Structure 1
Amino acid sequence: MMTSFFDQFMSPVLLGIPLMALAFLLPWILFPSPAPRWLNNRLLALQSWFINQFTSQLLTPLNVGGHKWALILTSLMLYLISMNMLGLLPYTFTPTTQLSLNMALAVPLWLATVLIGMQNQPTAALGHLLPEGTPVPLIPVLIIIETISLFIRPLALGVRLTANLTAGHLLMQLIATAAFVLLSMMPTVAAITSIVLLLLTILEVAVAMIQAYVFVLLLSLYLQENV
């Protein structure tokens, strides 16, 4: 029995062994690997169609140099969606509710986009720190502000994903607890609360997919500025 509503966001441990590694590896096991046959089954065809549509939509605004990131961004999208969706199942754990994991994904990828910009087009990359036509007295202030906003980007990526998933999971647990408590006292109110919980669960499924897409989309926008 949980002593706190926030116990569901703690890293699970079995016999002193952290189960985070199992949560990381499980999404890859669920996805079927492409077969060498000419004709695939419906699941493989649907998976290939989704990957092709997402990749083409994501890479259309990017230059040719950014197309090298197709495999990384597509894999990250599928990985985040899988972990977010699996975390909605009963008796499971959502690794993406941990800020440390999200920052471990956001910081290296953001830093890679910045380093690519510094290597390929250093003038344009540094030019983002100072908008064109800025008055001379405001130049030092704007450079400081733009530099701070640049370094806040990975923090915003990690905090956005963590906050949205944590808030949704916590709200679902609060409503489920209320429905369970009200079942014996006010069955009608408990039934209405259960309907609200069902609608919230559907909303949380959409949030799990949208947040994964937003995470990868923002990374592609950062990459677009540096290629």
Structure 2
Amino acid sequence: MNLSFFDQFASPCLLGIPLIFISMLFPALLLPTPDNRWITNRLSALQLWFMTTITKQLMIPLNKRGHKWALILISLTMLLLMINLLGLLPYTFTPTTQLSMNMALAFPLWLATLLTGLRNQPSTSLGHLLPEGTPTPLIPALILIETTSLLIRPLALGVRLTANLTAGHLLIQLISTAVMALLPIMPAISALTAVVLLLLTILEIAVAMIQAYVFVLLLSLYLQENI
């Protein structure tokens, strides 16, 4: 039976039970757990350095009120990073290629930043919908445009992550299929295509890391506007 290229994005099931929850929780089991030792191993030290660096970068645009979100943001970063990287392994499923999952992450967090702004500084948050000095005839149209721009933010977050990862996985599968098809008839072309596949895989590793960072960075920027 010939499989479609999009079958790799279908959520796996066992006895009719979706396994997407297991695929989301499994990456967390691979992270080293901290202990009470003064000197940790290299993997724990590397993880601590990475988390500290990312946290500093995410906290730069935020004031002290926004630092309360540090644990949520760094946890989300590590979750997305591990899921994206493990999804590049053969015979694995990447949950972040599902728009439903990405929207389930993006919408509540975006809504939390919005409600935080409406609770702490309602005038400033509503003031973003109408820039100062707007001509009176343009006020209704500008409010409508800014409201649409505000409401489309979670959709943009989810679609950006889904589209980038889906496109990368499709390209890898297409080129790997070409390598196997060309191997018996044109070995030289197949070897050249394999080199392209290797370079694309390296690029996808970078994309998986960057997209996890961009997702959380945009959330921190949305939070900055509301604190």
Same fold per superposition (TM over 0.5): yes
- 1:17 is displaced (CA, Å) by 2.3
| Cα distance in structure 1, aligned partners of 2:67 and 2:220 | 10
Matches within 5 A, 1:50-199: 50-199=50-199
| Cα distance in structure 1, aligned partners of 2:2 and 2:103 | 27
| Cα distance in structure 2, aligned partners of 1:100 and 1:83 | 15
Gaps (5+ residues) in structure 2? none
Moved more, 12-21 or 172-181: 12-21
- 1:2 is displaced (CA, Å) by 5.2
| Cα distance in structure 2, aligned partners of 1:69 and 1:44 | 23
- 1:7 is displaced (CA, Å) by 0.2
| Cα distance in structure 2, aligned partners of 1:187 and 1:220 | 49
| Cα distance in structure 1, aligned partners of 2:189 and 2:32 | 43
The answer for the alignment partner of 1:222 in structure 2 is 222
| Cα distance in structure 2, aligned partners of 1:179 and 1:14 | 32
Percentage identity across paired residues of the two chains: 71
The CA deviation string for residues 11-54 of structure 1, in whole angstroms up to 9 with x for no partner, is 01123222112101111100011111111111111111111111
| Cα distance in structure 2, aligned partners of 1:109 and 1:163 | 20
| Cα distance in structure 2, aligned partners of 1:193 and 1:205 | 18
| Counterpart code for 2:107 | V
The answer for the alignment partner of 1:200 in structure 2 is 200
The answer for the alignment partner of 1:209 in structure 2 is 209
| Cα distance in structure 1, aligned partners of 2:193 and 2:44 | 38
**Aligned with 1:40: secondary structure?**
coil
| Cα distance in structure 2, aligned partners of 1:2 and 1:74 | 41
Poorly superposed stretches of 4+, deviation over 2 Å:
14-17
**Aligned with 2:184: secondary structure?**
helix
| Cα distance in structure 2, aligned partners of 1:123 and 1:18 | 44
How many pairs does the alignment contain? 227
| Counterpart code for 1:24 | M
| Cα distance in structure 1, aligned partners of 2:106 and 2:42 | 34
| Cα distance in structure 2, aligned partners of 1:61 and 1:98 | 30
TM-score normalised to structure 2 length: 0.98
- Summarize the Cα distance change of 1:204–1:2 in structure 2 as closer, same or farther, 3 Å threshold: farther
| Cα distance in structure 2, aligned partners of 1:144 and 1:48 | 45
Moved more, 18-27 or 139-148: 18-27
Gaps (5+ residues) in structure 1? none
Moved more, 155-164 or 2-11: 2-11
| Cα distance in structure 1, aligned partners of 2:144 and 2:70 | 33
- 1:178 is displaced (CA, Å) by 0.7
Report the RMSD for the aligned CA atoms in angstroms. 0.8
**Aligned with 1:185: secondary structure?**
coil
